[in-house]
Amino acid sequence: MSDIALARSHSWTAARFRRVLPKVLATAAALVLALIWLGPVVLIAITSVKSNQDFLSGPFSLPTALTWAPYQAVWNGLGFGTLMANSLLYATTGSALAVLLALVPAFALSRFDLPGKRLVFGLLLTGMMLPQQTVLIPLYDLLRTLSLLDTKIGLIIVHGVYGMPGQILILRGFMTTIPREVEKAAEIEGATDFQIFWKVILPLSLPGIVVGFTLNFIAIWKEFVFGLVFLNSEANFPVTVGMLKLNSDRYMSVFNLPAAGLVISQIPIIILFILAYRRISSGNFVGAVKG
Amino acid sequence: MAQVSLINVEKHYGRHTVIPDLSLEIEDGEFTVLVGPSGCGKSTTLQMIAGLETISNGTLLIGGRDVTELPPKSRDIAMVFQSYALFPHLSVHDNIAFGMKIRRTARDDIKEQVDSVAGRLRIEPYLDRLPKELSGGQRQRVALARALVRRPGVFLMDEPLSNLDAKLRVEARSFLSKMHRELQTTTIYVTHDQSEAMTMGTKIVIMNEGKIQQVAPPLEVYNRPANRFVAGFIGSPAMNFLELEVGEEALLDEAAGIAIQLPDRSRATLQPYRRRKVVLGIRPEGLRPVGLADSSPVSGANFTVEVVQHLGHETLLDAVAGPHRIIARVPPTDASAVGERRTFAFDMAAAHLFDAETGANLAQSG
């Protein structure tokens, strides 16, 4: 190869390298982050299908023999069926209650020029920023006064009300994207305010309701503090509180059971997220008014 | 009967006044077009008639009834919006039937009326579709169907054609005009497009800054504009305006070399304006470039052609003299060239004179 051709070849390689290098670095960084996120998840999943001896002899190695015994032990030993059923009850009804309570305020905040609107917004946001611990004592007191301590309905009400501000913000955001002319058209057609809300706004807010419900469901499912403080009876425990047993002395050196418990407890969330993923990530809906 | 009367209607938003004092009579069966630039108050006026905006002061009568405080559903009106405002989650059938279901009309009646109006507007094949599955023109017809099925005393239309492409818009204009001729329902139509106003309305209401500038049939507005604003707004290309000084017998701008002879009838009108400025308004078709063979026009001036636009059926000449710019509409065979200095004859019989300060048409203000 001549000197000129060689020089050209070298400069071409250098230019290509400079072009490709940022992409390689970004991909490598993303892989590292993915490993950091997924690593513990994969480790837990692997641990959950190992015998405890298998784990102790090699915590990070693949199982020498797959076993489902940890799942059986956790399900039967901890009454996982009841725990999961309770969590499902709290997450479903608590989310539904939060959404229901939030619908009308969200509509009002999205549509009407109310006096003190900014103050209401500020209060909502401030409330959401306060940690759970700040409301534990007053809520405990309130539930005790209403004889709702250690009751399923009490925890459901707490979750519903606690989740309401977040739902108002999510739903309000969706409702503001509904074109005003659609409501005006309904008004011209003779619909009352309630009919406009029920027949027009609510159906068009369905994507927002699904997103809000899903996010709230996940939050309640993962929630631990309220369940721990407001409930005493094992029959009422959600899965997060019920799994505390696996932290006791009895299970000090047992690792595969907590792993199996964690995997079981996350299955409903994973299913829900897969089903609702597109709605959550898009955040939009086809309004179908203009063009 | 569906006469619409606005009597001293005002609209304020806090301290901001959008409509200071508007009075307007729309006769039963008229197709009245409210036209004006953006922000002139035409849509606000329509919304007040519909009941979607409150009237701050004044009275609104529809069919002789005072409906000022009544909600939209009690005003016997139907409205077509600019964006059609179809309910995106409902089928075409349910969109059209929405109002009837609210009013608890019997199912059989709903079906009969929906089918009838869908047939009339040729949208029966789309009754089961959602709005997002329709084209713009189809959605517009669904919006019309929803209004038609109410059989209102008054149709209100807020720029319903502005979302259509040019070809569809022309078709839709003639469709709406035909529909009005058949139904004879009072129609109030809002548009910012002056050519739409001219072609569709039996009466045009030109608005600017919340005030009515002129109310008249299209040709009267075109030929006898009440003021400079109306003259400049109606007509495309717009009317030419030249601010000139009133001389003994001519309108002058000596610096630009312009001296346009005044006809006898105008000299008396302009007596109070001697040595003051007035605005001469003349439409593009009122200007004629004079050939070498023609004798010098009595009312003419020399301009330099800057732009020649060949449109096929006509040619537009953009010409300038000093600070004055004119557009002349000439036959397609005109041979004017860019840079050429031409004499343009002014058809003073078709010209207008406006007060330079108030803009009022001097012929109409006496």
Partner A contacted by B79 (CB < 8 A): yes
* Residues B27 and B136 placed together within one structural domain of the fold: yes
CA-to-CA separations, B93 to B88, B137, B161, in angstroms, rounded? 12, 17, 22
Q: Name the minimum distance, in Å, from the CA of A185 to any CA of chain B.
A: 6
Q: Residue B331: which CATH number?
A: 2.40.50.140
* Residues B299 and B272 placed together within one structural domain of the fold: yes
Q: Do the bridges between strand B154-158 and strand B77-80 make them parallel or antiparallel, or are there none, so unpaired?
A: parallel
Residue with the bigger pLDDT between A74 and A32: it is: A32
* Residues B211 and B75 placed together within one structural domain of the fold: yes
Residue A243 clears pLDDT 80, i.e. is over it: yes
The reply to whether omega before B332 is within 30° of 0 (cis) is no
pLDDT at A159: 95
* Residues B252 and B273 placed together within one structural domain of the fold: yes
The Cα diameter of chain A in Å comes to: 93
pLDDT at A277: 76
pLDDT at B118: 93
Residue B234 lies in a domain: no
B165-199 pLDDT, tens digit per residue, is: 888 888 888 888 888 998 899 999 999 888 889 99
Structure tokens at B314: 């006509």
Buried b (16+ CB within 10 A) or exposed e, B143-181: bbbbbbbbebbbbbbbbbbebbeeebbeebbebbbebbe
Over residues B202-214, mean pLDDT = 95
Give the confidence band of A252 by pLDDT, cuts at 50, 70, 90: low
Nearest CB among A182, A190, A290 relative to B73 is that of A190
Check B102 against A191: CB less than 8 A apart: yes
Give the confidence band of A289 by pLDDT, cuts at 50, 70, 90: very low
B58-102 pLDDT, tens digit per residue, is: 999 999 999 999 999 899 999 999 888 999 999 999 999 999 999
Give the confidence band of A113 by pLDDT, cuts at 50, 70, 90: confident
Check B78 against A290: CB less than 8 A apart: no
Into how many domains does chain B fold? 2
Q: Name the minimum distance, in Å, from the CA of B27 to any CA of chain A.
A: 22
A255-268 pLDDT, tens digit per residue, is: 888 889 889 988 88
Domain boundaries in chain A? 3-48, 79-282
**Contact, B319 vs B338, CB < 8 A?**
no
Q: Name the minimum distance, in Å, from the CA of A104 to any CA of chain B.
A: 20
Q: Residue B193: which CATH number?
A: 3.40.50.300
Which residues from A are below 8 Å from B when comparing CB atoms?
Answer: 179, 181-182, 184-191, 195, 199-200, 203-204, 286-291
- Expressed as residue numbers, the domain containing B280 is 240-355
Q: Please state the pTM of the whole predicted model.
A: 0.78
B45-65 pLDDT, tens digit per residue, is: 999 999 999 999 999 999 999
Residue A246 clears pLDDT 60, i.e. is over it: yes
Give the confidence band of A288 by pLDDT, cuts at 50, 70, 90: very low
Pick the CATH number of A79-282 from 3.40.50.10490, 1.10.3720.10, 1.10.10.10, 3.40.30.10: 1.10.3720.10
Q: Name the minimum distance, in Å, from the CA of B133 to any CA of chain A.
A: 9
Place of tokens 């569809």: B168
Nearest CB among A188, A203, A287 relative to B50 is that of A188
* Residues B218 and B262 placed together within one structural domain of the fold: no
- What CA–CA distance (Å, rounded) separates B285 from B123? 43
Give the confidence band of B292 by pLDDT, cuts at 50, 70, 90: low
Find chain A residues with C-beta within 8 A of B88's C-beta.
182, 204, 286-289
**Contact, A188 vs B98, CB < 8 A?**
no
**Contact, B317 vs B323, CB < 8 A?**
no
Dihedral over alpha carbons A139, A142, A147, A153 (to 10 degrees): -50
* Residues B194 and B245 placed together within one structural domain of the fold: no
* Residues B209 and B299 placed together within one structural domain of the fold: no
pLDDT at A24: 92
CB-count burial class (<10 Å; 0-12, 13-18, 19+) for B323: exposed
* Domain final position from B196, B228, B260: B228
- What CA–CA distance (Å, rounded) separates A218 from A269? 6
Check A188 against B102: CB less than 8 A apart: no
Check A185 against B79: CB less than 8 A apart: yes
Give the confidence band of A127 by pLDDT, cuts at 50, 70, 90: confident
Structure tokens at B82: 């600019």
Helix (H, G, I), strand (E, B) or coil at B94: helix
Structure tokens at A107: 């509509």
Partner A contacted by B324 (CB < 8 A): no
Residue B363 lies in a domain: no
* Residues B141 and B120 placed together within one structural domain of the fold: yes
**Contact, B40 vs B207, CB < 8 A?**
yes
Residue A251 clears pLDDT 70, i.e. is over it: no
Q: What is the ipTM of this complex?
A: 0.80
Give the confidence band of A291 by pLDDT, cuts at 50, 70, 90: very low
Structure tokens at B360: 């009022």
Over residues B116-145, mean pLDDT = 92
Residue B362 lies in a domain: no
pLDDT at A249: 66
Find chain A residues with C-beta within 8 A of B152's C-beta.
none
Residue B108 lies in a domain: yes
* Residues B170 and B121 placed together within one structural domain of the fold: yes
Over residues A270-277, mean pLDDT = 82
Beta strands, E only, chain B:
4-13, 16-26, 31-35, 57-62, 65-66, 77-80, 154-158, 186-191, 203-208, 211-216, 240-246, 250-253, 258-261, 277-282, 287-290, 299-310, 315-321, 324-330, 341-346, 352-355
Residue B364 lies in a domain: no
